[in-house]
Chain A
Amino acid sequence: MKLPVQLLIGAVLSVFFVAAALLSFIWVPHDVATLTISDKLQGPSPTYWLGTDHLGRDTLSMLMVGARTSIAVAIVAVGIGMAVGVPLGLMAAANRGSLIDEIIMRGNDLIFAFPSLVIAILITAVFGPSAVNAILAIGIFNIPVFARVTRGGALSIWTLDYILAARVAGKGRVRISVEHILPNILNLLIVQGTIQFSLGILAEAALSYVGLGAQPPTPSWGRMLAEAQTMIFTDARLAILPGLAIVAMVLGLNLMGDGLRDLTDPRVRRARA
């Protein structure tokens, strides 16, 4: 009924953008590095399917390469969040109530007090703007998100009897965390990963839009919007297309995340049974 449809639409949209981004490595309709000023601000045509911008660059090609930037930033940021946050969360849960737990959780709270925009501002103020800053800022913000989800999920599993059974079998905290806890919270992490991925795309667009992310000449959806803003009275198309790309990609990821959650959440499954 509703469940597979949602997952399907989400997966199709996500795969579409990932494929477009991958395709851009080997082929784009027009090279985005060459400026053809004579062809500037053209509407859609057989040559330029989605038209050109104020520097005569092909909008479709820009969107394809921009997808690459967005996806790369978001994926690496999720990777940072998971690589640091998940072990921290597992460690905090395994030592519940101890000093380590307290330090990790208070550290989390502290990072939560810095929205990714603020982290980006701090980094940029010192190191100057770049796509790497965007990755770092979003990635750091992801760390406490994953640490919390991991800890919460892990704590509920630590109370179960099979953990006691494993302890009776002489297993230590690390081994139990890896063998018993991690596999059983994997679905939580996958769902959260999808959500953070889509939030990462949104954050990257916002950072690039205000100039804290990818720098010229690297095309990115956020920067395309920033450039289009000055021309909004003359050519609204340039302001609409990148936005639609962001919406479609994020929508796809969110639908996929919700679908995955419904698929793996035993409560939802039971309700459907």
Chain B
Amino acid sequence: MLRFALTRFVSLTLSLLIASLVIFAVIEVIPGDPARYMLGINASEDAVAALREQLGLNDSLALRYLDWLGGMLTGDFGLSYTYKVPVSELVMQRLWVSLPLALYALALSTLIAIPVGLIAAARRGSAADYSIMGATQLGIAVPNFWFAMLLVLIFAVTLRWFSAGGFPGWDAGFWLGVKSLTLPAFALALPQASILARVMRSALIETLGEDYIRTARAKGLSRRQATVRHALRNAMIPVLTIIGLQFSFLLAGAIIIENVFYLPGLGRLIFQGITQRDLIVVESLVMLLVFAVILVTFLVDVAYAAVDPRLRRGR
């Protein structure tokens, strides 16, 4: 088990290194002179030279890359060109909106999907199964940001239960914060829950057809006992994969949904970074997102091994 985790950790580190190289290459090498790019065509030579100096662009590429990498490891992401403050400061503020939103949505999605998928699989072919499958089919087809608008229309504009957007900050009180993230989290979670419920259902149905379920039934387990004691854990293996994949969709989704609800999260920061050509902000945020995705993949791999003893002896 330890060896398995260690092997996966090595590949996690490698992935991160390569990803950072790719991002560095796209942001700092392809545009030619990032300083000129950031300042625009009309900038004076002096301004460009000053920015080059400030960004350390006069050093060699290798040195700049190592500098950037070393900076990130120590929490120094550089100085935002537009805000004139350290990027790490900006990110930390915004992260406290985006990360809770993504996790909230992930929790909702999982909590909704697993029981729903279980019911559909256990009552396969029943009216309940058909309605669940129909509803999830629809859920998958709904773009989350549009669903968010509908929620605003219904719960904020018509019913006035929630505010149409904005975030009071965690200082204003925990529950107030949770409340303002609830509509966005639901908007994010329901389409993902639809996918997850379908995966859960088909994984469970497939597992229920396995030989060892028949063995269990021959031992005297009822259909329900066989499902709970034998099928569920085996069916969790594909479900875990999807939960892992969903986190990256949810993080990306959170960035988009923030636009609908005017939430001061990473999404707003990153889109402002793009329009204002603040490459430093964009570069750091992209690296952060990729880091999150790779980290979750690693955690899912380790979770696999916890579920499936066949994986524990390395690969």
Contact = CB atoms under 8 A, between A and B. Distances in A.
**Within 8 Å by CB, do A and B touch in the complex?**
yes
Interface of A: 106, 109-110, 112-118, 121-126, 129, 198, 202, 205-206, 209-212, 225, 228-229, 232-233, 236, 239-240, 242-243, 246-248, 250-251, 254-255, 258
Nearest to A243: B146
B252 A117 contact: yes
B293 interface: yes
B255 interface: yes
Chain A CB within 10 A, most for which of B23, B37, B252, B267: B252
B282 interface: yes
Contacts of A251: 137-138, 141
Interface stretch (B66-74, B149-157, B210-218): B149-157
A113 B274 contact: no
Interface of B: 11, 14-15, 18-19, 22-23, 26-27, 30-31, 37, 137-138, 140-146, 149-150, 152-153, 157, 248-249, 251-252, 255-256, 259-260, 267, 270-271, 273-274, 277, 279, 282, 285-286, 289-290, 293-294, 297
Contacts of B152: 232
B274 A121 contact: yes
A211 B279 CA distance: 17
Chain B CB within 10 A, most for which of A210, A236, A255: A210
A225 B146 contact: yes
- Majority SS at the chain A contact face: helix
B225 to A, nearest CB: 24
Contacts of B138: 247, 251
A118 B290 contact: yes
A8 to B, nearest CB: 15
Contact of A115 (B30, B141, B289): B289
Given A125-B273, A126-B26, A198-B141, A243 B150 contact: yes
A117 B143 contact: no
B260 A124 contact: no
Given A113-B19, A209-B256, A232-B157, A124 B141 contact: no
A239 B26 contact: no
B252 A115 contact: yes
